[in-house]
Structures are given as C-alpha cells and as structure tokens.
Structure 1
C-alpha cells in the first residue's frame, strides 16, 4: 500500500503534508479528500483515531479511494497524540482501553468516571486540539512541568520530552537531544487532557529514533 503523492502525513500540529515517510501508525478523521484526491477539509468528524498499519489480515483499499475515509500516517503514537488523535477501539482495543482509563482517572471526578463515554472524551479532545478553520490550539507552561511523551513547540520547531532530554521532531524521526532551559515557557502541542493522562501514568509509544 503506497500513497507517496498524497497529502496525508501528519505533523505534531495536526497539519497534513505530502512527504514519502509513511510512519508507524495510520489513522483517520473521516473523508477529507475530493474526487481528485486533494484535501478539502481538515476533519469530517470528532473521533480522530490512530490505527495499526495491519490488523487481522484485513486488506484495505488503495488510500483515498472513493467513498473511503482518508488514510493518514504518523511517525509514532506521540506525534498522533500531539496532533489530537487517540487509539482506535477496534484494531487497538487494549491500547484504547488503557488510554481511556488513564484519561478518565486524570480528568473526571471519581463518581462520574464509570459513566464516561468515548464520545464525551472526543468532544473534549476536539475543543483542545483545534478551532474552526483548523488552527492548532496550544497552551503555555514551563518546560519542567511536562511529562515524558509530551510534545511542544519551541522557536517554531517541535520537540518530544523523552528520558534522554528534548528531542527535535521530523518526519524522519527524532534528532539528538538539545539543550533547552527547564524553566523556559513553551507552547504545548499535546492536548491538555492528554497531558494529564500522561501524568497519570500512560506513556505514548515513540519512534525507534526516540527510544534512547
């Protein structure tokens, strides 16, 4: 399955690019393309998910096939979370449950947690990741407050908070750790409620270049 010329590679801001790097996860936001395979909308629904590239031998149609959702690709789960996506409940059932449980513990009062629906979580995530027109929602905190797995913008570049330090992001993977003052105030790309889930103990999977 190839989609080299399609605008479907997702960066940590949630923007779509036409680059050859496919990445380690697939996902969707609904049908975003027209009959010419051009992107015409930033999303079609609020349930932005990430999916496995292969699952149970399912053969997917060619990307951007007529009437099919627009297949998007991420270099890793940390990037997908930063863009505002979360694990699919079908092909990533266990991962989906793990994330939902951590998210609910971190963001919902104990007496309400058991009744929290995924649709309600998706509404929160949608408000935290973008505004009409597709502009990215961010918030600012001192870098020292961010947990492992969070992604942030600093001097117009994206970085991952990793055990090895602050790793610059690219579609090829992560670069060597750079020195940034821990008290520096940065723009956080990962949605705020997801950051809270990370603090609760959920750790996103990162590209091999970031596993140092």
Structure 2
C-alpha cells in the first residue's frame, strides 16, 4: 500500500506507487503508526536529497525519525518549497545558494524560503502571479485553462502527473499563478538548473 509521502508542485501530499527521482526532508511529520499529522509547516529546513546516501537503506516513516518525502524531480521539489540538501548534495547547494541572491548561509536561505512559500498560521502554500513570459525555465505555474500544475520549459508548459510529464502545451500568455517561491525563482533566473525527470525530454 502506497504511503502518503509524495509531494506535488502544489505542496499537497499524495499516495502513489509511482517512483520519484528525489527524496526530501522537513522533519518528523508522522506519528508512531506512520500517519501524517498537521505539523507539515513547522520545520523550516526543507531539503531535497538524493535517493541513496551514506547511511544506506532506511525504514520508511520509522517512529521518531524524519518523514521521508519524495518528488518526481527537483523542479517539483523547488515548487513545493524545498532546496538542495547541503549534506548529500553540497555542490548543488552551493550553486543554489549563490544563485538565490542576498543570502549567505543555509539558515538565511531557509528563512527566506519559508516566508515565500507559506501563509502564516494557515498552513497553505503562498502563491504569486507574474507574467508568463518573464518566468524562467524550471518554474511551475497553474495553467490558466484547467489549473493543472505545469513546468515551464522554453515555449512549452509540461503538465505534471505523479508518474511524469504529459505532452507539452504552448506556454500560456499573460499573467499566471506561480507555484515556485521567489528565492527559487531568483536562483532559476540566475542560472541554476534543476534536475528534471526523463519525461521532461531534456
């Protein structure tokens, strides 16, 4: 039975058998029985990790251990408010930190991301609007026609699904709802390139 630990670009937690390319961590979100609670926004260091690291294989959602989260790819993790892990992805973290602009350390970055991704006391994803043509590749939007999360790549908008991206649509024109928080948009504008799922065609 699939666990409810896959994170979507809208910040929702879903249960799916589809595999993701990255793991994430934002603290202990589950109880002793493995059920998710409401404490999904308390921890401020939301990281995006490789699937395998030095500690080897972990028991998923072990009592008292951090909740293993999973993402289709890094662009989804950025849209959900996570950033590269400094421990298991130190080179990516340093590149992201340098590209994010105006932050000098992980703590400053996490604070800036938390302000940009969360609506205080509401436990909801903060979103903004922007001109579609001004957004960088790797950003996520809600498509204005059907509100499906889409990854922007060049002139295309790739619809998200848990098992991969669908056939490309034309990038919409005008103002759109943006899911990717501002510090990550700044990093994308400055040249940070997230690792994308093979179905993105890159």
Q: TM-score when scaled to structure 1?
A: 0.88
Match of 2:168 in 1: 177
Q: What corresponds to 1:127 in structure 2? A: 115
Distance 1:205 1:169 in 2: 15
Structure 1: give runs of 5+ residues left out of the alignment: none
Distance in 2 between the 1:85 and 1:190 partners? 10
**Residue in structure 2 matched with residue 198 of structure 1 by the alignment:** 188
Q: Is the 8 A contact 2:97 2:105 kept in 1?
A: no
Distance 1:129 1:5 in 2: 27
- Residue 145 (structure 1) aligned with residue 145 (structure 2): no
Q: Please list, as runs of the form range in 1=range in 2, the aligned pairs for 1:20-35 lying within 5 A after superposition.
A: 20-35=17-32
Figure out how many residues of one structure are paired with residues of the other and give that number.
198
Change (3 A) 1:190 1:67: same
Unaligned runs of 5+ residues in structure 2 are none
TM-score by length of 2: 0.93
The secondary structure found in structure 2 opposite 1:125 is: helix
Q: Matched residue of 1:152: which SS?
A: strand
Cα distance, 1:180 vs structure 2 = 4.4
Q: CA RMSD in A?
A: 1.4
Deviation per CA, 1:139-181, whole angstroms, max 9, x where unpaired?
0011111110000012321000113611101101111111343
1:55 aligns with 2:35: no
Quote the Cα distance in structure 2 between the aligned partners of 1:95 and 1:179: 30
Residue 152 of structure 2 corresponds to residue 161 of structure 1: yes
Check conservation: 2:152, 2:171, Cα contact below 8 A: no
TM-aligned CA deviation for residue 61 of structure 1: 2.5
Paired residue for 1:66, among 63, 66, 70? Answer: 63
